[in-house]
Structure 1
Amino acid sequence: MRQIPIKMTFFFQLHPIIATIFFGELIVLTMLFNHVAVALTGIVSLMIINVFYLGRHAAWQQLKFNGVLFFMIVFFNVLLNQKFSPFLWKVSTGFFTFKLSYPALLYGITMGIMLTEMLMTFALLNTILTANKLIYVFAPITPKLALLVTISFNLVRDLIKRFGQLLLLQKTRNLDTTTGSLPTRLKKILSLFQILLEDSLSSAMETANLMDARGFGAAKRTHYRSYRFNPTDWFFLMVTTAAFALLLFVRINAMGWTNSVADFNTILFTGDLYPMVLLGSFTLMPLIAEGVYHLWTN
């Protein structure tokens, strides 16, 4: 879907501090609204921008991984909340009675969507805010915090990359995790995880020693690239901050949020239209700015 390299997009060229503020606001908003319709609006908007910036294949792979967590959350919410009517299905076996509660189902779907939104936001953040940008943003506060934030945001991606490389290497030694019985495959995977853990710990110790030897954090850090604020950066910040403030006002007025699982009896609640429109507009703001930016430059 994305027709231009990501480094040429407006969102990637946005000032790192402005981009960090946007992602901070987006992360907060993924936790502010728990109505089904509002959550669906957020995840559809995030899927659109993830497809544009990450590519269709990467977005689809991420969605499949998040789908497993989504169904686990829905399952456990339905299993642990069986006292709220109406019930869609009921079955009794001996001393055990299972009730499929409609409110619990809707609540579980919403919680699963909210977690998926959070994971999709961090996937996009890892692409837009590269390691040097994160260090540039957080180094003035404290260099050690900048290093910790950078390592934390890139930890999962680095582990997945290393594990893929390790799988390819082990195949040359006829160690294929896709063949054999289930216990055999589990044993192979566990041995690979042991190697990955040992390698990660060794790499972390080596990095810590090297950074200490270079006196990291002892003095002010210089950067090989400087970032300058442009009028477009300030305009993007003003628009997104105004939309964020409106969404906070909507949330304070109890729109898009329900405190009790028992109240989840419909997909679209009264007053959901305001947070849906505002949340969708806020999430798609990078794409809107992308279109305006390229129309202006052309």
Structure 2
Amino acid sequence: MFDQFFYQDKGLFLQSLHPVAALSYAGVLMVLALLFTNPLYLLGLLLVIILAVAAVDGLAAWETYLKISLGMMLLVIIINPLVVHAGETIIWWGPRLPVFGRLTVSLEAICYGAAMSVRLLAIISIFCLYNLIVHPDKVLSLLARFASRSALVLSLATRMFPAMIRQMENIREVQVVRGVDFHAGTLKERLPKYAALMNILLLSSLEDSLEIAEAMQARAFGSGRRSCYRRDTWRPRDSLCLGGSLLALAVAVYGQAKGCSTFSFYPELDYLIKGPMTVIVLIIIILALSVPVVLSWGWQRCPYFKAKI
């Protein structure tokens, strides 16, 4: 049930990228999600993220993230107009409260809450995309070149939760085969069953930690210079994806500096499209960020193109 939240190697294009290229792509998406305030740019960025998730066959996992995000988005849209009293276009006058004063709901506050909810969904979707395309061991291997011991601790920490989830499911299946029904009885009767399950999980985790320590000792960890088990090759696909990410970042910075991609909510709503440059900058950013998606489409359908990149 929890496997969709973790990395699964499916042999897809975005999963074959070099860790630096994949991290750069996800990092640029995150920076742009935090940088943009214009709702059009946030929606365009969200569209690119969804296309990238679809390219890595992760829409089923993204739907779970979406269900989690909808509640938080709704809270942002409701709470922000009630708390923030800025904005000149008042659409509702509420009662006067002793501490907060008179409640007012402005159109600007509603639009700001809606835009921030889209940003929240984009950020959560970026984390979903990161889990789908970036292998955690590859990322930590990059850090191991600078701090091997810290990278080892991070690697063990990131692998602990998914490993314990899978191990708990295995133990639960064994207990069910032996006749233990975790759904039968009252809460008081079910607690000892779950306590026994957690006890077995704890013992298994201790045994696994001893096996990891023995494996590290057998591999002479800490006895000398660290060797590299696997080296990732930098290929043309990585250059294209990295170039598209850097181009999108550069154009986004230019748009922010020139005011093409900015948007102000208070005291009055700004224009979504301030001129032709607003549309041009948006199109360039979307096309640059869509490079991995387009390459993934060609990589799956054209063997010659796949061999070249």
TM-score over 0.5 for the pair: yes
> What aligned pairs does 1:28-43 form with structure 2 within 5 A after superposition?
28-43=31-46
Q: C-alpha separation between the residues in 1 aligned to 2:171 and 2:121?
A: 28
Structure 2 counterpart of 1:265, which letter? L
Q: C-alpha separation between the residues in 2 aligned to 1:108 and 1:160?
A: 36
Q: Deviation per CA, 1:180-199, whole angstroms, max 9, x where unpaired?
A: 9xxx79x98xx99xx69x95
**Structure-2 change in CA distance of 1:291 and 1:57 (3 Å):** closer
Q: C-alpha separation between the residues in 2 aligned to 1:51 and 1:154?
A: 25
Q: C-alpha separation between the residues in 2 aligned to 1:85 and 1:155?
A: 51
Structure 2 counterpart of 1:52, which letter? A
| Counterpart in the other structure of 2:292 | 286
- Matched-pair contact (CA < 8 Å) for 2:94–2:102: yes
- Matched-pair contact (CA < 8 Å) for 1:7–1:13: no
> What aligned pairs does 1:51-200 form with structure 2 within 5 A after superposition?
51-92=54-95, 97-147=102-152, 150=155, 174-176=181-183
Q: Deviation per CA, 1:154-211, whole angstroms, max 9, x where unpaired?
A: 677668767877988998755549x99xxx79x98xx99xx69x95xx77x948x839
**Structure-2 change in CA distance of 1:29 and 1:155 (3 Å):** farther
Q: Does 1:262 align with 2:271?
A: no
- The offset of 1:153, in angstroms, is 6.2
User: 49-58 vs 159-168, which deviates more?
Assistant: 159-168
Task: Provide the identity percentage.
Answer: 19
- Matched-pair contact (CA < 8 Å) for 2:25–2:241: no
- Matched-pair contact (CA < 8 Å) for 1:35–1:268: yes
| Counterpart in the other structure of 1:236 | 241
What TM-score, normalized to structure 2? 0.72
Q: Does 1:297 align with 2:294?
A: no
Q: C-alpha separation between the residues in 2 aligned to 1:11 and 1:284?
A: 12
Q: C-alpha separation between the residues in 2 aligned to 1:87 and 1:251?
A: 29
How many residue pairs align between the two structures? 283
Larger Rg: 2
Q: Secondary structure at the match of 1:31?
A: helix
Q: Secondary structure at the match of 2:261?
A: coil
Q: 2:27 aligns with which of 24, 41, 61?
A: 24
Unaligned regions of 5+ residues in structure 2, if any? 1-7
What TM-score, normalized to structure 1? 0.74
**Structure-2 change in CA distance of 1:212 and 1:157 (3 Å):** closer
Q: 2:49 aligns with which of 46, 49, 58?
A: 46
Q: C-alpha separation between the residues in 2 aligned to 1:22 and 1:286?
A: 9
Unaligned regions of 5+ residues in structure 1, if any? none
Q: 1:250 aligns with which of 250, 255, 259?
A: 255
**Structure-2 change in CA distance of 1:48 and 1:158 (3 Å):** farther
Structure 2 counterpart of 1:240, which letter? S
- The offset of 1:220, in angstroms, is 4.0
Structure 1 counterpart of 2:254, which letter? F
- The offset of 1:38, in angstroms, is 1.1
- Matched-pair contact (CA < 8 Å) for 2:13–2:56: no
Q: C-alpha separation between the residues in 1 aligned to 2:251 and 2:181?
A: 58
Q: Secondary structure at the match of 1:7?
A: coil
- The offset of 1:285, in angstroms, is 2.3
| Counterpart in the other structure of 2:4 | none
Structure 2 counterpart of 1:104, which letter? A
Q: C-alpha separation between the residues in 2 aligned to 1:257 and 1:166?
A: 53
Q: Secondary structure at the match of 1:41?
A: helix
**Structure-2 change in CA distance of 1:88 and 1:232 (3 Å):** same
**Structure-2 change in CA distance of 1:98 and 1:75 (3 Å):** same
- Matched-pair contact (CA < 8 Å) for 1:82–1:104: yes
